[in-house]
């Protein structure tokens, strides 16, 4: 069995759509970071997306664990022209509503769709499993990337996956048992 411990990066405090923008994480709550690090399996390798908020969070919780190279395929969804825009300032509100209400193939101008992001994250997970089969792996990533894996484990539609909350510095534990994914914990705050 392979167990993936998905950790959402520390908060950015942005009030806009943040995808590929490289905003820093606020890791000033050192007690929460320490509880998170203590909750994760000892000796498990740690990997993160290449965005600094995920890298800094991974570094803060690694505590002597092996560190794998950053993987850009673990990034958040690419919001394209909507990046760093407040929701109410997006010009085409019908397009924006469709993107959130019917996630799948709809994409922001110059960005990517839910399915494109899910395929990208699935490729990264496939590489991780191939290289670390049967081990525990800690993956520090983003809200959307984690939800794609919750969607897969629970066999949900993208829209149903959005019903799950993934807090900053939370752990979502997914197990690969044979060929099946199972969710053991979603949005656990140690």
The 10s digit of each residue's pLDDT in 24-78 is: 999 999 999 999 999 999 999 999 999 999 999 999 999 899 999 999 999 999 9
Quick one: pLDDT at residue 63?
87
2-188, superfamily in CATH?
Phosphoglycerate mutase-like (3.40.50.1240)
Query: What is the SS3 assignment for 88?
Result: helix
CB 139 within 8 A of CB 7: yes
CA distances from 97 to 14, 24, 75, 100 (A): 20, 28, 22, 5
Domain ranges of the chain: 2-188
Q: Per-residue pLDDT tens for 146-189?
A: 999 999 999 999 999 989 999 999 999 999 998 899 999 999 99
**Measuring CA to CA, which residue among 166, 168, 174 is closest to residue 137?**
174
* Helices 143-154 and 114-132, packing angle to 10 deg: 80
Cα angle, residue 68 at apex, residues 21 and 112 outer, rounded to 5°: 35
Quick one: pLDDT at residue 40?
98
CA distances from 51 to 48, 74, 120, 158, 163 (A): 8, 9, 15, 24, 25
Q: Per-residue pLDDT tens for 66-105?
A: 999 999 999 999 999 999 999 999 999 999 999 999 999 9
Q: Per-residue pLDDT tens for 121-143?
A: 999 999 999 999 899 999 999 99
Strands 136-141 and 46-48: parallel
Alpha-carbon span 138 to 85, nearest angstrom: 31
Alpha-carbon span 45 to 138, nearest angstrom: 6
Cα angle, residue 3 at apex, residues 152 and 172 outer, rounded to 5°: 60
0.85 exceeded by the pTM?
A: yes
């Amino acid at each position: 069995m392979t167990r993936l411990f998905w950790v959402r990066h520390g908060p950015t405090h942005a009030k806009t759509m943040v995808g590929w923008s490289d905003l820093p994480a606020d890791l000033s709550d050192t007690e929460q970071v320490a509880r998170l690090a203590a909750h994760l399996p000892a000796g498990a390798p740690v990997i993160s997306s290449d965005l600094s908020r995920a890298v800094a969070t991974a570094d803060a919780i690694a505590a002597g664990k092996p560190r794998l190279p950053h993987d850009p395929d673990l990034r958040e969804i690419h919001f394209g022209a909507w990046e760093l825009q407040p929701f109410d300032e997006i010009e085409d509100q019908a397009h924006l509503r469709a993107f959130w209400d019917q996630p799948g193939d709809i994409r922001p101008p110059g960005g990517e769709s839910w399915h494109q992001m899910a395929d990208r994250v699935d490729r990264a997970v496939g590489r991780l499993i191939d290289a670390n089969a049967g081990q525990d792996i800690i993956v520090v990533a983003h809200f959307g990337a984690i939800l794609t894996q919750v969607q897969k484990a629970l066999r949900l539609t993208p829209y149903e996956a959005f019903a799950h909350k993934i807090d900053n510095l939370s752990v979502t534990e997914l197990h690969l048992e044979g060929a099946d994914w199972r969710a053991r914990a979603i949005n656990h705050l140690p």
